[in-house]
Amino acid sequence: MYDVEIKLEVGVLNFEPASSLNPDEQIVDLKGRFEDEIDASKLIITESGVSVESGLVLTGKNEIEIVPGGFPLTLALRGIEFHSPAFEPEYPWERYQRLAF
């Protein structure tokens, strides 16, 4: 979470290697879903004049969109069959600005 102002936070994504999984986490095998090339874009959300990196889009043969979820400590995933609830991002999808890395 990123504090924008008093009592207002915006979800951000941080990536780091994981050595093990918690019982409620899952691994998704993406081999063959993108073929040879993957383009990555970051998603920016602006709240109260503050812009933060708040998501990721991977595009190839298919596309995956990943943003913080509407509930704390969750992700909203869309694009490939995930074993997760409906796509419920923290902000309406139209508010995210997509920028190439």
Q: Supply the pLDDT for residue 1.
A: 52
Over residues 51-92, the pLDDT tens digits come to 888 899 988 888 889 998 888 888 888 887 665 567 889 889
- The rounded mean pLDDT for the chain is 81
The CA-atom distances, in angstroms, between 23 and each of 20, 27, 70, 84 are 10, 11, 22, 15
pLDDT > 60? residue 20 = yes
Q: Is the pLDDT of residue 42 over 80?
A: yes
pLDDT recorded at residue 78:
87
pLDDT, position 49: 86
